Every structure is written in C-alpha cells, then in structure tokens.
Amino acid sequence: MEYINLKNSELRVSRLCMGGCPMGGYDWGSDIREDELIDAVHCAVDSGVNFFDTADTYGLGQSERTLGKALKGKRHQVVIASKFGVHAKKGTPTFYDNSPRWINESIDGTLSRLGTDYLDLYQVHYRDGKTPLSEVVGALEDLKKAGKIRYYGLSNIHENDRAEISSFEGRFVSFQEEFSLACRKNEKDIQTLSRDLNLTPMTWGSLGQGILTGKYNRDNVNFQPGDRRARAVYVNFHGEKLQKNLEIVEKLRAVAAKYGKPVSAVAIRFILDYLPLSVVLCGVKRPSQLLDNIQGCDWHLDADDMQLLDEASR
C-alpha cells in the first residue's frame, strides 16, 4: 500500500480510499449485501487501506451505519471521512444546505451512525450558493474545538471557487472531484486547485461508475430501473460516450495483460501516477472488487503506457 499525508494535516492515509456510495445501497443494483460490504471493509483494513470516505446522504445514512458496524473495534486503525451539505430527508425535497445550523445537526447524526465520537475529516459535499464560506469555516472550527472533527475539506469545487477559498488557505486539507480515464473534464481544475490552494486532491468516479473495470460491454449495460446507471445522466454507459469508454477499456486490457494486473488496477494506477500527490476513491460491493483495486498500488506504469492511456482517454 502507498501512503501520503493530507496537506495541512497530520493525517497519513492510504492512497486508495474505500468510497461509501455503493454502501448506501440506493440505486446501485439489487446485488448489494451488507455482509459482503462488511467483509470488504475488513479486507481493506487487512490489506493496508486505512482511509474510508462516506456521506450522510448515501442511502440517507445507511452507508454511515454499515461502515460504523464494519469498523467496530477498529476505529484506532483507520481514518474516517464523511460529508455534509445535502439536506436530504425521506419524503421531503432535497437541497444543498451549508448553514451552521445544518452543519451542527448533520455532524451529530453522522457520529451517531458511525458509532464514533469524532471524525478525522469532515467535508463540504456541495456548496449551497448562498452561505458565505466564512460561516461554514466558523462552524467547522467550532466543531474542531469541540473535538467532534479533526480536519475539514471540500468536494465538487472548481477553479472559479478559488478566490473565495484562498482566503482560508491552510484551513482546508483536501478536496474531491470526479476524475478518471473516462472523465478528464475536471483535470485543469484539479491541477490548479491542488497547486494554488495547497490541497490534496481526492478523485471520485475513479472507475467511471464501473465501466473501467472491464466488466461491461454493449451487450450487458441494460441496467434495471433500480440501478442509477440506467439513467441517461450516467453518461459513461450510454451512446457515444459508452463507445469511447469501451475503446479505452480495450487499451486498458492490453496494458493489464502486460503487467499481469486486473483492468481496474491499471485504471487506478493511471490516476496515482498522473496525479502523484492524490488519493483515489473507489466504491466496492464485495471483497473481490477490493482485492482487484488494491493491485493498483505499489508499482508504476512506464512512460509509453501512460502516454497510450492518456491519448486514448482525451
């Protein structure tokens, strides 16, 4: 396993972070079982993964409950991150909310579901477009003083957020953004923000919601209505984007065969090498997927293979 320190912090984390979105169970298909999710978490810890990321909105808290159950007795071994800012309750409209009132309500629910009295990293899931960042930072600093969180970070921000965030340089430690061989649109933002704001980038969608595992082709992407990937908004599995991704996967297969690695491991390795100070987030449903993903660590793609994948995905 590879480890780095998150910027502006004492948090030393594995560069492969287990993401908690599938753990929420919501619209990720009918093949999700809690026992397999818990086994995957245990497998991750045993394999050197010490970083786990979730959010209160994943399955309306189900992801946090399952992760807390899986990490019972292992809290001292791991770094736990969660996110706030999506005001979601069953039966009511969902909206973004960064207000101090919601932050304080959210953290208590998160800690209770995770079964811990503190978070290592608390992240703004989405900015709400109205709450000044100074109020958000003030509320987060109060949580630090109260011992409920150790550090805080950001998610889904872009270059045009830089000016506001720069006023608080050194306060935030990380930010999350979508990036993979299937999604290069945020690349400039990631490089600019990590450099100019001294933040550790964390990539989500690192396997393109699964298209970069090599599991899918044109004949098996007919997802059931209960699977979010059936929706057109999940572009990786539809139309011309699907065709482009399948072409990328063929390049991945060739490179994977050369190194004797799973396809997903090569997709992960590309990010780790392309963004050498990053953390790669990958959600899994079962231990076998986790074991494939960790094979993306502790080796490097050579320059020719990096160029091949870089060009194929642009």
**Which residues are marked as active site?**
58
| Whole-number Å distance between alpha carbons of 102 and 83 | 12
State the residue for tokens 């044109």: 218
Instruction: State phi, psi for 113 to the nearest 5 degrees.
Output: -70, -35
Task: Round to whole Å and give the CA distance between 178 and 208.
Answer: 9
Residues 6+ apart with CB under 8 A from 74: 45
Sign of the alpha-carbon dihedral angle for 31, 33, 37, 43? negative
Residue 281: partners with Cβ closer than 8 Å, 6 or more residues away: 17, 18, 19, 53, 176, 202, 203, 204, 206
In this structure, the strands spanning 119-124 and 95-96 are unpaired
Q: Which residues make Cβ contacts (< 8 Å) with residue 244, sequence separation at least 6?
A: none
Cβ(67)–Cβ(20) below 8 Å: yes
